[in-house]
Amino acid sequence: MSPTFSKKSLFTTLGILAYIGATLYLINQFVQNDIIMIVISMIGVILLLSAFFFISVISRIVVTTLVLIGSYCIYMEESNLTHAFSGFGENFNLLSLFLLIPLIGTFMSSAGYLSALKVKVQEKERKGAKHPYRLSYFLTSSIGVLLNYGAMAIVKRIAEESFSSYQDKKLTLTIMRAFGFCMLWSPYFVNVGLMLVLFQLSWSDIGGYAIFLAVIYLLVSWLFFCFIHFKDEKQVEHKTKGLSTSRPQSLTPFYIFSIVLVSLSFLLDWVLHVNMLTVVSLVALFLPFLWAVVSRIFRSYVQDVVIQVQDTFLRLKNELAVFISAGYFGMALSQTDFGTYVSEQLFDASFGSVYLLSMFIVGLTILLSQVGIHPVIIIIGIGSSLSPVKFGVSPEYMAMILLVAWTTSTQMSPFSGQVLMASRLMDQKPIQIVKENASFSLTIAFLFTSLLYMILRFGMI
């Protein structure tokens, strides 16, 4: 057996193991069982140890620090070891989104929906609708809700094969900003799901505020568009490829599938006694399979899923390591009085001002993200430490502040998923993207924090 084959087999096995863990998490939401939780935690330990050898040095330092601090807290508090061990499975609720939501994009590709979408964009280009930036923003902000990071690469590929004239780096940054629009409100995104879990909220509790901020985000994106300017920007000029002479596929099935997907998610959130994070994971797991059977593409869809599972570990190794260790850290921290101490210190540092406290939280998250500390670590640490009641605010307000902190920090962190994706798509160093996007992100951070505080003062949240 060759070393290459052995490594490939290992990655495939770890990918399968990750999906088993996500599936067991979903089962445990309905049939709660200590043995299932122990198995999930064991899978978490295996994935964490395996991923540790394939992540960057900075990520290794962060992961090691989280595990050591968590273990120290458990030792000092003399916590139950079984309960402590369960911390390694604590964040499988969040990992289930990373693992299962991409199944939606896989189905859309297998069903030909994304190809049909590309043909439709090419038709608009040929008919004179030459708005590459506007159309790319719209595509990313709409399909990004369902496809997550994959939407950025898909829209960029559609743009390259459809638009005859555009500035490459400007277009890619526009796509990245559109992705931030989705992060503010979509229940299919892990940051939104984390807020619901941390503060025991339903999506409807924060959905109105999130959509309001998303609309403002859209307007700010439009205002800042004209200030995008990269050095050595190149103007892409080429003839678009000819359309297929065969009858183009209708987008109606794509629209129907999307409507059913979103409607079913909100319906089950209302009917079932589980959080939205669990609901969207369930829908992402089962609906594409059922739709593939009805659409008679089950075999090709399963083949595509198999390929996706084989690539899962390498694609998500960083998220696996960071989220599993952060879950263990958060669980250990909750066993101590650290939360009370932090709450008192932050309140004193902000001079008793909720507004200054909010600014401090957002600013701290942005600052730490610059050195590679993932927002999930900061959010779990703050969210599990701060009691909204102690500051005289609602859980909804605190959830929205942390949501703003996550969204803005990932828009200007050289280590975040969307910045790294944009870096690959435009062949530009991440730090250059951060510099170009800094004024936009900082404006969003200040504006949104101020707007939320105004809403709080008027007693609307």
Integer Cα distance of 47 and 7 in angstroms: 15
**Within a 10 A sphere around the Cβ of 83, how many other Cβ atoms?**
13
Nearest to 277 by CA among 215, 348, 192, 351: 192
Burial class (CB in 10 A: 0-12, 13-18, 19+), 408: buried
Enter the DSSP assignment of 237.
E
Nearest to 452 by CA among 276, 218, 208: 208
Average confidence (pLDDT) over 412-428: 86
Grade residue 118 by pLDDT with cuts at 50, 70 and 90. Answer: confident
Q: What is the per-residue pLDDT for 4?
A: 52
**What's the pTM?**
0.84
Give residue 228's identity as a one-letter amino acid code: I
pLDDT tens-digit readout, 302-333: 999 999 999 999 988 988 998 899 888 888 88
For 361, 370, 396, 406, the CA distances from 403, given in Å and listed in that order, are 11, 17, 10, 5
One-character DSSP codes across 393-408: --HHHHHHHHHHHHHH
pLDDT tens-digit readout, 285-302: 999 999 999 999 999 999
Token output for 372? 């590679």
pLDDT tens-digit readout, 167-217: 889 999 999 999 999 999 999 998 998 898 888 888 989 999 999 999 999
pLDDT tens-digit readout, 333-365: 877 777 667 667 777 777 778 899 899 889 988
Strand partners, 165: 237
H/E element, 167:
strand 165-167
Integer Cα distance of 360 and 402 in angstroms: 11
H/E element, 235:
strand 235-237
Burial class (CB in 10 A: 0-12, 13-18, 19+), 446: middle
Min mean pLDDT across 149-153, 283-287, 395-399 is at: 149-153
For 358, 377, 432, the CA distances from 390, given in Å and listed in that order, are 14, 22, 41
Integer Cα distance of 216 and 297 in angstroms: 40
Q: What is the per-residue pLDDT for 172?
A: 93
Q: How far is CA 347 from the centre of its chain?
A: 30
Give residue 213's identity as a one-letter amino acid code: L
Enumerate helices (H) and strands (E) in the chain, giving the number of each: 21, 2
**Within a 10 A sphere around the Cβ of 332, how many other Cβ atoms?**
27
| Inter-residue contact 312 to 47 (CB < 8 Å) | no
Dihedral sign (CA 165, 169, 170, 173):
positive
Strand partners, 236: 166
